[in-house]
Amino acid sequence: MRAVLHTKYGPPDVLQLKEVDKPVPRDHELLLKVRAASINAYDWRHVRARPFIIRFMGIGLLRPKHRILGADIAGQVEAVGRAVSRFHPGDDVFGCGGYGGFAEYVCVDEKKFVPKPANLTFEEAAAAPMAALTALQGLRDQGKIQAGHKVLVNGASGGVGSFAVQIAKSFGTEVTGTCRPSKMDFVRSLGADHVVDHTQADVTRQGQTYDLILDTAAYRPISIYRRILRPGGYYVMAGGSLGRMFQLLLLSMMGIKNMKVFVANANREDLLTISTMLQSGRVRSFIDKRFSLEETADALKYLENGRVCGKVVIIPFGA
C-alpha cells in the first residue's frame, strides 16, 4: 500500500510517499481502507517538532516515533481483530486514531471509532473528530457552557473554531467570533451573532464581557482576557503557543481554576455525540480544500499559512 512516511523532523517536504506493507489488525483493532483523512495543527507540529520541547512529550527525541501521521480518519472496515464485536467488514466508520491516516490502509483501536452517518460523505466525517471533540469538550466540560451564556471564540474560522461556533450556538448561547477580515463572512455563516476583525479591533477593549472564552489561537498574553471574563466565567485554551500553555499551567498551580488549558480525549461516547450533531445538521463540517495523498506536504503547507477556513482533507484513493 502507499503511505506518507515521516522519518525525520523538518518542513513538510521531509514527508515521502512510499510503498509499505499493509498492516494487520490486532485483537481490538479494525483494518480500515482510508477514504478520507483530515489535517490538524497536531500533524504539522509533529512534522516540524517545534518548539523543541515537544520532542520530550512522546513524539520522539531525535527522530519521529510514529512514521505515519494523520489522526482524523473516515473509512471502510476491511477486516477486524478477533476480539472486535461492534464492527464488521464493510462498515463505514470515522474517528480519531491518533496516527496512520495518511495512508491507503490503517489499523485503529475500535474504541475510538463510531459508525459514519449515512448522510455524511467520508470527507465530512473525516473533517470532524479532533476539531469537533476539542470544541465540544472545551465548551461543555472545561467551560461549563449553559444556555444564555455569552461566548467568545477566538480563532473562529479554523478547524476547532468553526465547530466551536456551531456547537456553542446549539447550546443556546450568544456567540462572538474573532478572525481575519477575509474570513468574517465565513464565521457569520457558521451562526456567530457577532464577528470581530482581530486585525482592526481588540476584542478585550470593546467593553463586552463573557461567560466563556474558548481560545483556539492563544498567542497573546493570557492576562488580558481576565478583564473580560464575567464573575464565575471560564477561559479555556484549546490551541496556540506552548508558552501560553505553560503560563496557564502556572496559574493553575497558583490556585486560579477558571483559566485552563486542555487536550481533547478521543472517546466513543463523545464521538457518538458529534455523530448525532452531524447527522441532524445542527453541526456541519466545512472543508476548505481537498488534496491527494501525493499532495500531503502541500496540504500541510496550506494549513500552516493560516488562511484555512474550516478543515483540509486528504483523499488517498482520489475523488
pLDDT digits (tens, 9 = 90+) for 266-299: 999 999 999 999 999 999 999 999 999 999 999 9
3-state class (DSSP) for residue 146: coil
Cell of 199: 486585525
Burial class (CB in 10 A: 0-12, 13-18, 19+), 144: middle
pLDDT digits (tens, 9 = 90+) for 54-77: 776 778 777 888 899 999 999 999
Q: Which has the higher per-residue pLDDT, 52 or 211?
A: 211
pLDDT digits (tens, 9 = 90+) for 29-60: 999 999 999 999 889 888 988 767 677 677 87
Q: Check whether 250 has a pLDDT greater than 80.
A: no
Q: Check whether 301 has a pLDDT greater than 90.
A: yes
Q: Which has the higher per-residue pLDDT, 248 or 140?
A: 140
Q: In this structure, what are the phi and psi dihedrals at residue 245, rounded to the nearest 5 degrees?
A: -60, -45
Indicate the pairing of strand 72-80 with strand 29-39: antiparallel
Q: In this structure, what are the phi and psi dihedrals at residue 255, rounded to the nearest 5 degrees?
A: 95, 5
- Fold for the domain defined by 131-261: Rossmann fold (3.40.50)
Residue 257 pLDDT: 81
3-class SS letters over 56-88: HCCCCCCCCCCCCCCCEEEEEEEEECCCCCCCC
Q: Where are the domains of the chain?
A: 2-128+285-315, 131-261
pLDDT digits (tens, 9 = 90+) for 65-111: 889 999 999 999 999 999 999 999 999 999 999 899 999 999 999 99
Report percent pLDDT > 70 for the chain.
98
Q: Check whether 314 has a pLDDT greater than 60.
A: yes
d(CA 184, CA 168): 18
- Fold for the domain defined by 2-128+285-315: Quinone Oxidoreductase; Chain A, domain 1 (3.90.180)
Q: Check whether 319 has a pLDDT greater than 60.
A: no
Q: Check whether 218 has a pLDDT greater than 90.
A: no
Q: Where are the alpha helices (DSSP H) in 138-291?
A: 159-170, 184-189, 223-226, 242-253, 268-280
Share the mean pLDDT of the chain: 93
